[in-house]
Amino acid sequence: MIHSLIARRGVSAAPVAGAAAALVLAAGTLSGCGDAGSTITRLTVGTPGPDPYTQVAATDRTDVKERPRAGGTKDGDSPGLYGGTRQASTCDQRKLVAFLQANPGKARAWADVQGIPAADIPRYVSRLTPVLLRTDTLVTNHGYRDGKATSGPAVLQAGMGVLINGYGVPAVKCNCGNPLTRPEQKVSTGKASYTGRSWPGFEKRNVTEVRPRGSRKGTIVTFVLVDPEGTMGFQRPRATEGESDGPPIALPATETEAPADDSPSPSDSGLESPGPESPGPESPGTEPTGTQSPGTGETPTPGAPPDGPGDGGGPEPGDPQNGGGAGGEGTGGMAPPAGPPHGPISLPPSRGPVPAVS
């Protein structure tokens, strides 16, 4: 019918068809490059960053030895994905709860990000676990400005203190109280531009995204952490602050295996993160009662041999950005490093991020 109308009016169908094809091609090009213009904010250790809920000192460290395997997507139950100081924590969860309770407006915005009622903040925070990042990590950082919530993609520098939820995903940035979630949309760390101060060793291909532990495995029981110097591993039961840490154990195997330096990360290749599952509500009495047997929790980069099965997970009520943990992997003990570790630091926030496109 369309062609007959065009013919009767003396208009050739070929130009129309060509124009339609051009529109389709243009649409495809735009959709394929939709993430190319993303801007990611780099946040250095000790820096609260934009729109902080509050400011807290001494939560981050500058001396954390970074994880050998970085970049791409890693499962939240990967042994050694996170670090920490054995029998110590720099993230004060009680202070965070008290601050939010004293600021009802901020509490409501904070709770909305986590998908919980504001009244559930004490319970929710008490079930998080303090750790140190061992890789530069991509997140969505949720701030608060002029009475409203803000959000944007950010890379947190290795050494930053965070609270992680029952599936191993960062949920709170300790030095400012900002809630964190997984990136809300496809973001290519290789194609995006970056703002904010950089740091020595920063490379786009080494930015890591954390994927939730598979919901069918249940929530984590014990995290396998690595000390800041990278000399030993230890276990930290979920929802504890260091007082229940286990004795030193051998480092996870991923600490001694050579990283695949030549393989691009999934984010650099433009691959989307796996779709989320929907685990059931997390409630007391439904968690595993023993230490889980961990997998490696690694997602192999293209061209690299697989390290083990990866199992995606997804949000649950109260844990919308879930990630997970793993049980003990160590098979032997090691003496703690000699001498006191370097102390935590807190640097003053920068006077406005310095734009840097790389």
How far, in whole angstroms, is CA 230 from its chain's centroid? 20
162 Cβ contact list (under 8 Å, min separation 6): 91, 130, 131, 132, 133, 156, 170, 171, 172, 173, 174, 180
Q: Helix or strand or coil: residue 143?
A: strand
Q: Number of H helices and number of E strands within the chain?
A: 5, 13
pLDDT of residue 44: 98
Give the chain's residues under pLDDT 50.
1-36, 261-358
pLDDT of residue 37: 57
pLDDT of residue 3: 45
Structure tokens at 28: 């495809």
Kindly report the number of other CB atoms within 10 A of residue 272's CB atom: 13
Q: Is 283 exposed, middle or buried (0-12, 13-18, 19+ CB in 10 A)?
A: exposed
Paired with 43 in beta bridges are 156
pLDDT of residue 260: 52
Closest CA to 80 of 209, 208, 226, 260: 226
**What order do you get walking across the sheet with 82-83 strand by strand?**
170-173, 161-164, 129-133, 82-83, 222-226, 233-237
pLDDT of residue 133: 98
Closest CA to 79 of 309, 310, 333, 325: 325
pLDDT of residue 38: 87
Structure tokens at 276: 């989320």
CA angle at 342 for the pair 247 and 250, rounded to the nearest 5°: 30
Paired with 42 in beta bridges are 155
Whole-number Å distance between alpha carbons of 332 and 326: 17
Q: What is the pLDDT of residues 193-238, one digit of tens each?
A: 999 999 999 999 999 999 999 999 999 999 999 999 999 999 999 9
- Indicate yes or no: pTM above 0.75: no
